[in-house]
Amino acid sequence: MTSSGTYIDTHVHYDPPSYFRALERYAESADDAGARLFAQMHLAGHAKYPHTLESRLERMEAGGVATSVLSLPPPGIFDVDEGLGSRTASEANDELIAAAESYSGRFLLLAALPIPHVEASLKELDRVASHPVVRGVGLMTSIGAWTLDEPRFLPIFERCAELDLPVVLHGSVDGCPDSLLDWGLVAGLGMLFGATVSVLRLALAGTFDKVPDLTPIVTHLGGGLPFMVKRIDEFGRLSGLGAGDAQHEVLHYCQNRLYFDNALFNPPSFQCVIDTCGAERVILGSDGFLESALEIVQQSSLPADVQEKILGGTAARWFSAADVRTSPG
């Protein structure tokens, strides 16, 4: 398949220059050990294996991907200082927009917000939301000093729903125990653990019921959530706590509200999410491993029409670049 097709990679990290500088600062000063370590790892990896949009475009052409959706990598924008966080988000978004505009609709993006500062996040969201290449919001989850299910964050989800922008929930690395600071576990496991806990808390706190028009997308096949959801629901019943403030058990949200990108390249894991949540809940997301992300779908036993939906048909409702026409830079 060529780039004239409809494949959409919804999970592509990109470091604009201002964010790279902020990440260097963060790697030196972050209080959270896991987040600081991950920032250092990311900077080292970027220095060894630099990724340009030109190189990504070459891989897109080879894989038949028409559009990629850019977002900032973890740890995201976690500056304690509201003013600094706001400037970092604004500069990064402006540079992401400029980069996407330079490639004639081949790249779209997820806006970055200065979480956990709610008013600043709403202001930045309203500033960039109308731009044609901005098609969603990237939110890094947190299990450290705060969690996204706190009531103060509800206006952000409500505003995203009003703007019809999906929220892509990506695990971050704050709050990791010291036992995950060795051997790359902070990235290999801590990030998925953080996403699992955060999305589970959002479901049980009733956030998805309070904002029924919100479209939540969870990266990395939902962390561990689809694999453990039956156990979580069963122990919720046994404990007498039920589903918290939620109107349903967690399995309902996995099957009816959440979408999952396939950036976890183990065939049995992929099949588990298909069987548990439904193929219509899964979309293509490479996290930079485009060939693996395509292969796990194309070499599956899923019917061709189902594969096509995972590879782009489902995501096209949010991330179609058909109406983006810019001139190459």
The residue among 195, 187, 309, 210 whose CA lies nearest residue 257 is 210
Question: CA torsion sign, 165 to 56 to 72 to 225?
Answer: positive
User: What pLDDT does residue 136 have?
Assistant: 97
Could you report the per-residue pLDDT of 78-123, keeping only the tens digit for each? 766 788 889 999 999 999 999 999 998 899 999 999 999 999 999 9
Question: pLDDT tens for residues 136-161?
Answer: 999 988 888 889 999 999 999 999 99
pLDDT on residue 327? 39
DSSP 123-153: HHHHHHTTSTTEEEEEEE--SSS--TTSGGG
Task: Scan for tokens 């930079």, then name that residue.
Answer: 288
Query: 217 — phi, psi (to 5°)?
Result: -120, 130
**Cα distance between residue 134 and residue 102, in whole Å:** 14
**pLDDT score for 69:** 97
Please say whether the beta carbons of 206 and 151 come within 8 A: no
Phi, psi of 323 (to 5 degrees): -100, 10
**CA 81/CA 25 separation, integer angstroms:** 13
Q: Rounded mean pLDDT of the chain?
A: 87
Structure tokens at 61: 């052409």
CA nearest to 168, candidates 148, 138, 196, 195: 138
The pLDDT tens digits for 179-189 are 877 787 777 77
Q: What's the pLDDT band for 3 if we cut at 50, 70, 90? A: very low
Cα(157)–Cα(165) distance, rounded to whole angstroms? Answer: 10
What is the band of 1 on the pLDDT scale with cuts at 50, 70, 90? Answer: very low
DSSP alpha helix (H) spans, 131-220: 154-162, 185, 191-204, 207-210
- What the chain holds in terms of domains, given with CATH numbers, is 7-318 (3.20.20.140)
Compute CA 326 distance to the chain's CA centroid, rounded to the nearest angstrom: 25
pLDDT for res 329: 37
Check pLDDT > 50 for residue 2. no
E-assigned strand segments in the chain? 7-13, 65-71, 107-112, 134-140, 167-170, 216-218, 259-261, 282-283
Amino acid at 140: M
Structure-block tokens of residue 52: 């340009």
CA distance 274 to 280: 8
| Sign (positive or negative) of CA dihedral 236, 242, 245, 246 | positive
Handedness of CA 188, 192, 194, 195 (dihedral sign): positive
What pLDDT does residue 134 have?
97
Predicted local distance difference test score (pLDDT) of residue 111: 97
CA 99 to chain centroid: 19
User: Higher-confidence residue: 131 or 18?
Assistant: 131
Q: What is the distance between the alpha carbons of residues 275 and 222, in angstroms, rounded to a whole number?
A: 14
> For residue 121, what are its two tokens?
């996040």
Query: In this predicted structure, what is the pLDDT of residue 5?
Result: 64
pLDDT tens digits, 217-263:
999 999 889 999 998 888 877 665 555 688 899 999 999 999 999 99
| 68 confidence band (pLDDT: 50, 70, 90) | very high
Greater pLDDT, 32 or 214:
214
Query: Measured between alpha carbons, how far is residue 31 from residues 34, 133, 175, 197, 249 in Å?
Result: 9, 34, 10, 21, 36
**pLDDT above 50 for 283:** yes
